[in-house]
Amino acid sequence: MDPYQLRRLGRTNLHLPAVGLGTATIGDMRGAIPEAQALATVEAAWAAGISFYDTAPWYGRGKSELRLGAALRPKPRDAYVLTTKIGRTLHRPADPQAFAAAMVDGSLPIEIRFDYTRDGVMRSYEDSIQRLGIPEIDALLIHDLDPMHHGDDGVEPFLRQLEDGRGFAALAELKASGQIKAIGAGINMLGMIPRFLPRFPIDFFIVAMPYTLLDQGALDIEFPLCEAHGAGVVIGAPFASGILASRTGSAATYAYRPVEDATSKRVAAIEAVCSAHGVPIGAVALQFPLAHPLVASIIPGPNHPDQVRANLSWLRTPVPGSLWSDLKAAGLIRADAPVPA
């Protein structure tokens, strides 16, 4: 599979390579990594020809944008696509020392507030430009507006902030003026795409979890709805937050949580099929979502240059058609899931 093959993102004018770089991990959200290692990871992606970079204010409470901007600022701006997100604004804590002492990851000691209103959108956009040091952002995504972050009864008030609070109108104005090229939304769970469409004309979704080797639930409602509305798809977390790359080791997670026994057994069964064909499970995990015609790109989140190179190697690894057939025959992926030719 060609990692650099450009694909149109929905009906937008953006064309993305098959693989981009997700940058949550270089924001130290899942454990602190040295600054030099984070920057080297981005540099390795650039040197390897990766030209799509996704970030967000939430990733490390500003740290991911700061680090990504430091690496990308010297690069020609017309040589890459850059996306970030809105929905959270960052603020000085009332007691910075106490706040910093309570931090449990490597994120910056900055307070966050959810805000999907016009003012929140514009503050987030302007602040992202300053942290990145890059005044041109290709697309903005509505971030984490789902029950996972707001509870089942907390989603509608924030949807109304987008609607009545004119948050989405601000995004539409940025697009109409040419400041951004597309409006997206980041989705972590099923059920939110139907709440966004057709209420808001979303150009694309980053789908992080509901479409991987371990879960194809998006095939039922989400992807048909995207197709009907001309919305493109980018797959975040193609390794299902880690387990499809690191198997069931101590560092592995599924859906950003410790791995349960049933999931471990399913991964072991998938890996057994992959091993029988002499193919690493990581290669199968990366190539699988790219077979869906809606999917323009995948954005794994490496935190080391070696992981960047491993991902590119896995994308180039030949996967025989019989492997996909065996996975379907064993009920390990859905029979109706598109697979690479």
331 sits in the region (left: phi over 0; alpha: psi -120 to 50; else beta) called left
CATH class, range 6-329: alpha beta
Q: Which of 238, 229, 256, 246 is nearest to 292 (CA)?
A: 238
181: Cα within 13 Å, side-chain hemisphere: 15
The per-residue pLDDT for 250 is 60
Q: Which candidate in 59, 116, 125, 254 is catalytic?
A: 59
158 touches 114 (CB < 8 A): yes
pLDDT tier, 249 (very low <50, low <70, confident <90, very high otherwise): low
Q: pLDDT of 292-307, one tens digit each?
A: 999 999 999 999 999 9
Rounded to two decimals, the pTM is 0.96
Residue ranges per structural domain of the chain: 6-329
> What pLDDT, on the 0 to 100 scale, is given for residue 233?
98
Active site residue 59: yes
| φ and ψ of 82, to 5 deg | -125, 125
Share of the chain above pLDDT 70, in %: 98
Residue type for 331, please? G
SS3 at position 186:
strand
Residue 143's pLDDT is what?
Answer: 98
Three-class secondary structure assignment of 5-20: CEEECCCCCCEEECEC
Average pLDDT over residues 86-110: 96
Q: What is the pLDDT of residues 103-127, one digit of tens each?
A: 988 999 999 999 999 999 999 999 9
Q: Residues 159-187: what's their mean pLDDT?
A: 98
Percent of the chain past pLDDT 90, that is, above it, reads 91
Helices (H), the chain: 35-47, 63-72, 96-101, 118-132, 147-150, 155-163, 167-176, 193-196, 222-229, 243-246, 261-276, 281-287, 305-316, 321-329
Choosing from 85, 125, 127, 211, the catalytic residue is 85
Of 149, 95, 112, 118, give the one whose Cα is nearest residue 27.
Answer: 112
Which among 72, 175, 188 is positioned nearest to 121, based on CA atoms?
A: 175
Active-site choice (28, 54, 127, 146): 54
Question: Residue 222: what pLDDT?
Answer: 98
Give 40-84 pLDDT, tens digit per residue: 999 999 999 999 999 999 999 999 999 999 999 999 999 999 999
